[in-house]
């Protein structure tokens, strides 16, 4: 692999050290069958730059509205932008109601697979429609109305999707809380949203164990004054105490309730959901998304990026508790009229080939998962995916963090069998939809999310907001509003303005650092706060980690900057080795030489620590601040998002 030339740059830019020259072309059959041809893609890119409002208006025309908009975009109260002003809609009408009037009425909408391999269920669009209506009527019977909030604290169950859709149908705002969070984290989110109802389950299956969710809710409920009722889904069947009058069984409430319920006609800017970011830095932020613009953004991006066909079975292997689950497990696939797969359990249970087994079991065509999962599965070797056919796969995707080139190539060769393009998507809870991503017809470079989606005006700038030269790193920003953007932070509009729009005035600051190469491809280098300043060079921790993972012995790596009296900062790296490799002084030396060869001499490695595991959030992101706090001997702060 070629390396970029290096020289000292001003502190507001980062060094681009890893060179990646491999380019992968899509197979002719992929291009021929794509929803968007290369010519249409180029035309869309040009229109999106020239006339973004026109581009998104065309996208909106593909959906059903009770009343069309008077104006596409209102910028009068920037940065509180409004889209499709004056329109009336409901995302549930587009995700469920409209399909039962078509050939999709008896099509499978959701395939659910429990962690116990023998447990599986399928729901058609008509069955989903009736259950969503019943749950909406349950909420009505409990006194909920438009604008009220409901917290959903459940794993990937059919009932989780039904609860989300049932809320949205009435204009009730849902906040889904990841089912691995602690009672304290749940309480904090419920109280911030002032939720009237919590929907939960008695328990869930995870890695062969039953986890009692009800106990966590009980603990949280000690200090949740706004909660009037807790609806409990019977999932695992273990005995639980239901004597508190506020606790009600899901199946009792659903029995005998009408399966007809009118969908609420809502303003396009009516709130759809609040989703709290993990809270690894201070109080969790309640990201607010709305019905109209959000449904336009996720529909257009999913249909184009994952080339969704009428016959596809699509699996986003994320959790509904994260934005990926909202946009691309539940709402996006259903709006597209697709068949979406929900898996409850752990990717390694009962064996490390569970994901490959599920793909073959259901004939899945599209797999969308995280680089963390790919690297975890890499540790078990290529022979595991090779034991399975995987012949139905047509497209692959990654989400959640930058993917290092070696993991990209492993995924491409061993899972996609060199025939499936990889859609490496960059986006955020805040953006609601894919922002930088290829389409299946694009040329791919391992480790690059390629170019912004049509209609997205992204740039890489210095701290004054000036574009930085190609090949140099800077701050990733978005220069024009987009439909599925967050509208504010729940209850904290000042924090919204300050955090996203005033760091670099006039643009949306993502908090990530990136570089753009000579071909206009974006390379995400990690969070701005995951940047080390080594002797005046700003070096992204993600690039250092990628260099380590490129070595044959390394499965995963986490890099932090530690203070140095001479260099300002130097790198300490925590390394998990692949099976068959043992820590040694010789391997330590070999890794240092390898990284020096990959990145050059400016990356000074203070030490390498071989470990068996790394602290991660429950969504799989490495919590470098925990490693740094331990190294510095300081309080690591809120650990409720820690997976272990």
> How many percent of the chain have pLDDT more than 90?
80
CA distance 455 to 452: 8
Q: Is the pLDDT of residue 339 over 50?
A: yes
* Residue closest to 57 by CA, chosen among 305, 308, 335, 296: 296
CA distance 250 to 593: 59
Please spell the DSSP secondary structure of 145-160, one letter per residue: -TT-EEEEE--S-HHH
pLDDT at 191: 97
* Residue closest to 197 by CA, chosen among 145, 156, 243: 145
What's this model's pTM, rounded to 2 decimal places? 0.87
Read off the tokens for 600: 């050059």
Q: Is the pLDDT of residue 356 over 90?
A: yes
Q: Could you identify the residue written with the tokens 């069309």? A: 68
Q: In this structure, how many other beta carbons lie within 10 angstroms of the beta carbon of residue 552?
A: 9
Q: Is the pLDDT of residue 457 over 60?
A: yes
Q: Could you read off the pLDDT of 168-186 as tens digits, one per residue?
A: 999 999 999 999 888 888 9
CA distance 31 to 88: 37
Residue 8: pLDDT band with limits 50, 70, 90: very low
pLDDT at 19: 63
Exposed / middle / buried, residue 197 (Cβ in 10 Å: 0-12, 13-18, 19+): buried
pLDDT at 538: 66
Sign of the torsion formed by the C-alpha atoms of 143, 147, 149 and 152: positive
CA distance 324 to 160: 14
Q: In Å, how far are 156, 250, 426, 451, 531 from 35, measured between CA atoms?
A: 29, 41, 21, 18, 39
Read off the tokens for 470: 């190609």
CA distance 186 to 224: 10
pLDDT at 626: 87
Residue 597: pLDDT band with limits 50, 70, 90: confident
Check if the beta carbon of residue 61 is closer than 8 Å to that of residue 300.
no
Q: Could you read off the pLDDT of 215-268 as tens digits, one per residue?
A: 999 999 999 999 999 999 999 999 999 999 999 999 999 998 999 999 999 999
Q: Is the pLDDT of residue 297 over 60?
A: yes
pLDDT at 638: 64
pLDDT at 362: 98
CA distance 530 to 281: 13
Q: Could you read off the pLDDT of 522-578 as tens digits, one per residue?
A: 999 877 777 787 876 767 788 789 889 999 999 999 999 888 877 778 899 999 999
Average the pLDDT over 268-292 and give the result.
Answer: 85
Q: What kind and span of H or E run contains 607?
A: strand 605-610
Q: Of 543-547, 599-603, 633-637, where does the model show the most confidence?
A: 543-547
Q: Of 83-87, 355-359, 581-585, 596-600, which gets the smallest average pLDDT? A: 596-600
Residue 18: pLDDT band with limits 50, 70, 90: low
Average the pLDDT over 318-331 and give the result.
Answer: 96
Mean residue pLDDT across the chain: 92
């Amino acid at each position: 692999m070629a390396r970029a030339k290096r020289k000292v740059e001003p502190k507001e830019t980062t060094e681009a050290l890893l060179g990646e020259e491999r380019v992968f072309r899509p197979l002719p059959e992929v291009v021929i069958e794509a929803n968007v041809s290369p010519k249409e893609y180029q035309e869309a890119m040009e229109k999106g730059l020239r006339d973004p409002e026109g581009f998104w208006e065309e996208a909106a025309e593909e959906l059903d509205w009770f009343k069309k908009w008077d104006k596409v975009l209102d910028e009068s109260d920037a940065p509180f932008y409004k889209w499709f002003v004056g329109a009336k809609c409901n995302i549930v009408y587009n995700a469920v109601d409209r399909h039962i009037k078509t050939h999709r009425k008896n099509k499978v909408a959701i395939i659910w697979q429990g962690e116990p391999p023998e447990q599986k269920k399928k729901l058609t669009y008509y069955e989903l429609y009736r259950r969503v209506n019943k749950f909406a009527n349950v909420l009505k019977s409990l006194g909920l109305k438009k604008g009220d909030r409901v917290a959903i604290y459940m794993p990937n169950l059919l009932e989780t999707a039904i609860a989300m859709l049932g809320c949205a149908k009435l204009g009730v705002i849902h906040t889904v809380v990841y089912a691995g969070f602690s009672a304290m984290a749940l309480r904090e989110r419920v109280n911030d949203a002032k939720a009237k109802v919590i929907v939960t389950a008695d328990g869930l299956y995870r890695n062969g164990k039953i986890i009692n969710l009800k106990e966590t809710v009980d603990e949280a409920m000690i200090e949740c004054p706004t909660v009037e009722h807790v609806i409990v889904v019977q999932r695992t069947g273990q005995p639980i105490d239901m004597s508190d009058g506020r606790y009600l069984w899901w199946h009792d409430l659903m029995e005998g309730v009408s399966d007809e319920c009118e969908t609420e006609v809502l303003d396009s800017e009516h709130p759809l959901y609040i989703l709290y970011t993990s809270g690894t830095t201070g109080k969790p932020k309640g990201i607010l998304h709305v019905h109209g613009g959000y449904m336009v953004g996720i529909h257009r991006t999913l249909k184009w990026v994952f080339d969704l066909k009428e016959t596809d079975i699509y699996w986003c292997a994320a959790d509904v508790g994260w934005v990926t689950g909202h946009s691309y497990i539940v709402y996006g696939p259903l709006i597209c009229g697709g068949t979406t797969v929900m898996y409850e359990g752990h990717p390694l249970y009962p064996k490390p080939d569970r994901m490959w087994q599920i793909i073959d079991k259901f004939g899945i065509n599209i797999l969308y998962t995280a680089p963390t999962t790919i690297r975890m599965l890499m540790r078990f070797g290529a022979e595991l995916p090779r034991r399975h056919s995987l012949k139905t796969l047509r497209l692959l995707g990654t989400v959640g963090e930058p993917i290092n080139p070696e993991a990209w190539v492993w995924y491409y060769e061993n899972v996609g069998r060199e025939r499936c393009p990889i859609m490496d998507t960059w986006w955020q809870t805040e953006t609601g939809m894919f922002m930088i991503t290829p389409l299946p017809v694009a040329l791919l470079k391992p480790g690059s999310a390629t170019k912004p989606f049509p209609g997205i005006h992204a740039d890489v700038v210095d701290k004054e907001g000036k574009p930085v030269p190609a090949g140099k790193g800077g701050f990733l920003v978005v220069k024009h509003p987009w439909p599925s953007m967050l509208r504010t932070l729940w209850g904290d509009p000042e924090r919204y303005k300050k955090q996203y729009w005033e760091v670099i005035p006039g643009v949306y600051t993502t908090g990530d650092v990136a570089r753009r190469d000579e071909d206009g491809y974006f390379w995400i280098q990690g969070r701005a706060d995951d940047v080390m300043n080594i002797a005046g060079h700003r070096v992204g921790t993600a690039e250092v980690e990628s260099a380590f993972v490129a070595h044959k012995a390394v499965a995963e790596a986490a890099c932090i900057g530690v203070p140095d009296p001479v260099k300002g900062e130097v790198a300490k790296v925590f390394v998990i080795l692949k099976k068959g490799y043992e820590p040694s002084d010789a391997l330590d030396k070999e890794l240092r030489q390898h990284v020096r060869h990959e990145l050059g001499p400016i990356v000074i490695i203070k030490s390498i620590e071989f470990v068996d595991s790394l602290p991660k959030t429950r969504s799989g992101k490495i919590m470098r601040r925990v490693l740094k706090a331990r190294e510095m001997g300081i309080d690591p702060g809120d650990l409720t998002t820690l997976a272990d």
